[in-house]
Amino acid sequence: MSGCAIHPSILSADFARLAQELDRIASADAVHVDVMDNHFVPNLTLGLPVVDAISKATPLPLDIHLMIEDPDRWAPAYADLGVDSVTFHAEAAKAPVRLARELRARGTKSAMALKPATALEPYLDMLPEVDMLLLMTVEPGFGGQPFLDLVIPKIQRARKAIDGSGATIALQVDGGITNETIVRAAAAGADTFVAGSSVYGAADAADAISELRNNAQRKDALE
């Protein structure tokens, strides 16, 4: 694994000043957009019209994380907006292989997410179908939760499986990513990091992004 990508989550942004909040993270690699339906997770955020508006307000790629029921029905519409990637939850998808292929057919990267307690192994055969695997390091639904170290072994197993597959697949972690936890997550094998409050809670978001990148490179000290 080489390099890392920082995807700030706008779940922690000030939605009343969203255009300015997007400008604050101009140095990021992508914008992580959490779409929640108050069914799959106990929170309600935003949908297609707001994602479309965000795509017009920033030159950064959009990393759409669907925490919704029935992604088989709704995910393709997000791909049609021209976003960079669409992540669906394995726990919610009825036909994950078909959905992953449909997302790619519509010109976006397909990505699959697993909750902390969802086993990795039943989904390893799915790896060739996705461009990114997201391992949640908190229970999905709300920002500001502490990092769950119990996911570290799963990150390690996922890294081994991805490397063994020979495919180019990003390994993303989302939840509780700080300057301290990013070191452990990177050492375990993650290369793409969603950070919400640690970026948007900082006085200077650009400095926070830079510091996270630097700390991700410290993984060598733990390997």
Q: Is the pLDDT of residue 201 over 80?
A: yes
Report, as an integer, the average pLDDT of 90-105. Answer: 97
Instruction: Out of 49-53, 137-141, 152-156, pick the least confident.
Output: 137-141
Q: Do 194 and 172 meet the contact criterion of CB atoms below 8 Å apart?
A: yes
Known binding-site positions for substrate = 9, 65, 141-144, 174-176, 196-197
pLDDT band at 119 (very low <50, low <70, confident <90, very high): very high
Greater confidence (169 vs 15) lies with 169
Q: Is the pLDDT of residue 2 over 70?
A: no
Out of 29, 131, 174, 191, the active site residue is 174
Report pLDDT for 1.
40
How far is residue 75's CA from residue 187's CA, in Å, rounded to a whole number?
32
What whole-number percentage of the chain has pLDDT above 90? 80
Q: Is the pLDDT of residue 126 over 60?
A: yes
Domains, the chain: 5-221 (3.20.20.70)
Report pLDDT for 187.
96
pTM recorded for the entire structure? 0.93
Greater confidence (143 vs 188) lies with 188
Q: What is the CA radius of gyration of the chain?
A: 16
Told to judge if 174 belongs to the known catalytic residues of this protein, a careful annotator would answer yes
Report, as an integer, the average pLDDT of 74-90. Answer: 96
Q: Do 36 and 44 meet the contact criterion of CB atoms below 8 Å apart?
A: yes
Out of 34, 37, 131, 191, the active site residue is 34
Told to judge if 63 belongs to the known catalytic residues of this protein, a careful annotator would answer no
